[in-house]
Chain A
Amino acid sequence: MDSQAVKRTGRWKSRIASELVEILGAGAVISAEDELIAYESDGLTGYRVRPLFVVLPSSTEEVSRVVGLCNREKVPFVPRGAGTGLSGGALPSREGIVISLARMNRILDVDIPNRVVVAEPGVVNISVTDAVSAEGFYYAPDPSSQIVCTIGGNVAENSGGVHCLKYGVTTNHVLGVEMVLPDGEVVTLGGPAPESLGYDLLSLVVGSEGLLGIVTKVFLRIIKKPQMVKTLFASFERIEDAGASVSAIISSGVIPAGMEIMDNLSINAVEATVGAGYPRDAGAILLVELDGPEAEVNVQVPAVSGILRENGAIEIKLAADESERQLFWKGRKSAFAAMGKISPGYYVQDGVIPRSTLARVLGEIGELGRRYGLRVANVFHAGDGNLHPLVLYDPEVEGESEKAEELSGEILRVCVDVGGSITGEHGVGVDKKRFLPLMFSEQEIDTMNLVRCAFDEEGLCNPGKVFPTPRTCVEPGMQKRSSETAPAKEMGELF
């Protein structure tokens, strides 16, 4: 759809602008060129497209009417939350409309006994926890951008965070959604009940990268805050030993809430920025967060400390209090931003690998970095094998950004070669769609298209994303049959 964007006339644009204003009011329709600039990209700023209009609906009905208009006029539309996504999922379509959910930012219901919060998509992730914290609950998925990213975006990308190993990702915490389908119809899938019956459509919608419709209400599962949280910090001479510690901890029967590794380059970037107290000469550091009933954590802390020691930890520290714990995490959470201190540009990747291949993959990433003449910093969710290699480059040096992008692609190939994935939490978007065939055959990508067609026959909803090449929806018919059909009994001859 994107590559075949229809060029619209000025007259058509004014008519559509009037209709949008009629639906939403003038204050909710952006059409001035200078104001549209802010919506040209999301967190993946290398890709930019200026939309025709940006609209800011305030209700499901308004979203439905706008989408209905888009459907009637065959205008592509792109849903947008806070625009913090890192794969270009909210990149506008040419000659399309961006539907920002920023004004749909109310928490509609807090139901502690049923452990459910009902939120509009524009609610900021951390606000959900803030709404239930006093009652001793929280919302578990915690992407690094949680103070700005929105629930709608989290649903679209199936966002993760640093506590996924134990608590899962967004799909494990969404019980239901109300959504506007690409023809404008409003449906509710799931609801406040933890389980549902029939086809699990909700699992398709979560992580669909905004291609199946626009979510306008989300039923979120909240969970009890753990009675105790303890964070261990360990430094290692070699990153491989940090990796081996991760496998050993899990093999021992302990599932930490989170395990994060940073390599020497990342440590130094962080120390130059926030001064988290990480040892600059360490080959790697590992953060292990243990949570749960007090009695359980009290047994786990010495057990994990012992494992870290056995695996060559130079220094092991247990956060003495909440402020020290926050300091341990401060470095990790500022790692991406800190790269700006040591490099004018960086390219972040999101590959996933089986934990058992960590040493091999890190070795290959190092080798690739040397071959391309670029530094690669490694920061990753070690427990679930989600790597975030940061390829450092100088955009002022001609050809270096292309080299960085190519190197990032090579890293993804390595991830897939060892049985992993091209993306663990950032999504495919426009950024990684060309790599989807590394993981999936044409038939498999066609199968994904069957899902998209079941929701969006016209292909108007966030087109140009995820799928490596444009795919249309062919009206399903009966399979082409043989002119003379064979009886079932002949099937015995098939093997």
Chain B
Amino acid sequence: MVSGFHVPGSGDTGPDVPEFGFSPEVVLYPETVEEISRVLGFASRNGIRVFPFAGGTKLFLGNPVGAVGAALSLKRLDSVLFHEPSDMVSTVECGMEVSEFQNAVGRENQIFPVDPPRLNSGSTVGGLVSTNLCGPMSTRYGTCRELILGIRAVRADGEIINLGGKVVKNVAGYDIPKLMVGSLGTLCVLAEATFRLYPRQPFSRTIVLGFDDHISCSRAAGAILAADVVPTCFEILDEKLSSEFAAAPGAKRSLLLRFDSFEEAVLEQVRQVREITSGDFASFTEIGNEDSQELWDSAREFPFSSGAGFSSKLALPVTASIEVLSGIESNPALLGVTARCLSRPARGVALVSVSGDDQEAVRAARFLENLADSLGGRIMFSGVRRELREEVKAWGDFGDALFLMKNIKRRFDPGNILPGEKIFDAN
């Protein structure tokens, strides 16, 4: 193996590379942003398509990628470059694992408040930004969009750009760092990102409320949203997940909440939740920080942990994200498949996993697509089996935004050097 790159099939023993679903001629391991710039400059001059990746833990997102000349790993850009604790701002290279970054800022009693799927199995900062899959803590802290302040990136033509900044308030120029969030690496290759951090809270408590029916659960969820409490995490689990996560076995629904603050404030909020939902819940369990870890790990990984079938994320209005569970559970279109659903109501997000045979899975996907549309939301699918990809595309309708999105892609990367088909279906 030659330092810096690996030719698959050459007989060299290269570093571990993920299953891309395509066969790059070469896998590159730059160590600096200038090296990324050289790669992309060369690639754009020679019409070679480049696929950026880091942890390779979420390659299942987006449409399949066509032919690619080079896969570009960011794994060797893996340092914290700047952390000023009194500013609560840190700049990190995009190949660094999110959990390592969290450990680094944690030494100053600060948190980088995201909990993406695959957090403890290689999820990187670059992958986090480009996928914007954030977990339960987004209830309080928002997603990467709310945390990102600046980027250092390389355009498809090789130009290195620094945009945004290192301060929490900054309106100089368009907010291109936020444009990168969720763009799946189709616009630029991210080398560094600067984030806002938060102070670690001294005390934490998880509560699980089990319900005998969905009506009382929805009522309780609505009451909590309207109450004077500020949960860090707030999830609704359907019947299957209530049991599988061992949250509230046997319950028809459960609510999963975590509060982080001073001890008195946390306990008071827990008391308030108990009080305002007392007429509705069938069980109410308080769980300490360490004992709740497994539960939150399960919520964080869902639905991308499930093996068979596919997963989908619905971005909905708040109330629809509560009611959607009943819509999914009771609908005849989903007979014959096994559907599991978790809702994150404060974010308007519903996550669904579906397993079943091909024909039924396709029917379920159509149903979910129509459901998202009828509720005024958007949908994406992931992990769709190869055989079903013609019928179940990764993205639902983008609405009016599609042609503007295409305009942006065309302006940033006219040669489609960075595979745009991840978002824009080649068909």
Contact = CB atoms under 8 A, between A and B. Distances in A.
Interface stretch (B138-146, B238-246, B282-290): B138-146
A454 B395 contact: no
Interface stretch (B98-106, B155-163, B205-213, B363-371): B155-163
Interface stretch (B172-180, B303-311, B333-341, B385-393): B172-180
Contact of B161 (A168, A298, A422, A443): A443
Contact of A476 (B7, B172, B178, B411): B411
17 contacts: A114-B318, A189-B404, A195-B348, A198-B395, A198-B405, A199-B409, A251-B85, A251-B86, A292-B265, A293-B268, A295-B265, A354-B89, A381-B169, A440-B163, A454-B408, A479-B415, A492-B28
Interface string A415-456: 000011111111110001000100111011111101111110
B266 to A, nearest CB: 8
Q: How large is the interface on A (under 10, 10 to 19, 20 to 34, 35 or more residues)?
A: 35 or more
Given A114-B318, A193-B376, A352-B167, 10 more contacts: A188-B400, A194-B315, A199-B404, A203-B175, A299-B264, A419-B165, A421-B167, A440-B163, A488-B43, A488-B69
A489 B26 contact: yes
B47 A485 contact: yes
A165 B168 contact: yes
Interface of A: 113-116, 136, 157-158, 160, 164-165, 168-169, 171-172, 181, 187-189, 191-201, 203-204, 206-208, 224, 226-227, 247, 250-255, 292-296, 298-300, 352-356, 381, 384-386, 419-428, 432, 436, 439-441, 443-448, 450-455, 466, 476-482, 485-492, 494-495
Given A251-B86, A479-B44, A201 B401 contact: yes
Nearest to B271: A295
A6 B78 CA distance: 53
A187 B35 CA distance: 40
Given A172-B146, A194-B347, A201-B401, A293 B183 contact: no
A264 B349 CA distance: 49
B169 A208 contact: no
B114 interface: no
Nearest to A158: B171
B65 to A, nearest CB: 14
Given A199-B408, A293-B265, A448 B378 contact: no
Nearest to B265: A296
A53 to B, nearest CB: 28
Interface stretch (B120-128, B223-231, B291-299): B223-231
Interface string B8-42: 00000000000000001110101100010011001
Given A253-B199, A381-B169, A491-B43, A198 B264 contact: no
A98 to B, nearest CB: 22
Contacts of B269: 293, 295
B201 interface: yes
B250 interface: no
B157 to A, nearest CB: 6
A354 B86 CA distance: 9
A299 B266 CA distance: 11
A146 to B, nearest CB: 17
Nearest to A381: B169
Which of B26, B171, B318, B402 has the most chain A CB atoms inside 10 A of its CB?
B171
Interface in B187-231: 187, 198-202, 222, 226, 228-230
Contact of A495 (B38, B143, B157, B318): B38
Contacts of B179: 199-201, 203-204, 451
A157 B170 CA distance: 11
B412 A450 contact: yes
Interface in B381-427: 395-396, 398-402, 404-405, 407-412, 414-415, 417, 423
A485 B228 contact: no
Most buried by B among A197, A251, A427: A197
